[in-house]
Amino acid sequence: MPLLQALGLFVLTAIAEIVGCWLMLMWRKPDGAAWLLVPAALALAAFAWLLTLHPAASGRVYAAYGGVYVATALAWLWAVDGVRPGMLDLLGGGLILAGALVIIGGHWVSTAS
């Protein structure tokens, strides 16, 4: 799987997980509606299914996904929650994402040759 395709799949996976959890959070609020549980369950099922589409060993997939998840969650913080990430958020997210890219890229390079 090419590097950019793997990265895009990880981002899509992270969005599915974040949306599913966010909808659960919205349901738990005092004015939350029970119907939110249906799209939440669908999003979380999509999240689990998307993780299975990576051809790498599961431990490598989960490790790399974790880094992409953190970066995506920081983007969600800004875009949806309206909270601009601070310098330490960006530094930490950048370091974690760099590690994930090493894992993804290292596997991609080793399997391409």
pLDDT, residue 80, reads: 94
In this model, does residue 20 exceed pLDDT 80? yes
pLDDT, residue 50, reads: 93
DSSP class of residue 31 equals T
Q: How far apart are CA 61 and CA 65, in angstroms?
A: 6
Q: How far apart are CA 30 and CA 26, in angstroms?
A: 9
Q: How far apart are CA 108 and CA 29, in angstroms?
A: 42
pLDDT, residue 18, reads: 97
Task: Give the residue ranges of DSSP H helices in the chain.
Answer: 3-28, 37-51, 58-79, 87-112
What pTM value is reported for the model? Answer: 0.84
Give the residue extent of every domain in the chain.
Answer: 3-112
Q: What is the pLDDT of residues 37-93, one digit of tens each?
A: 999 999 999 999 998 898 777 788 888 889 999 999 999 999 999 999 999 999 999
- Stated as kind and residue range, the H or E segment containing 80 is none
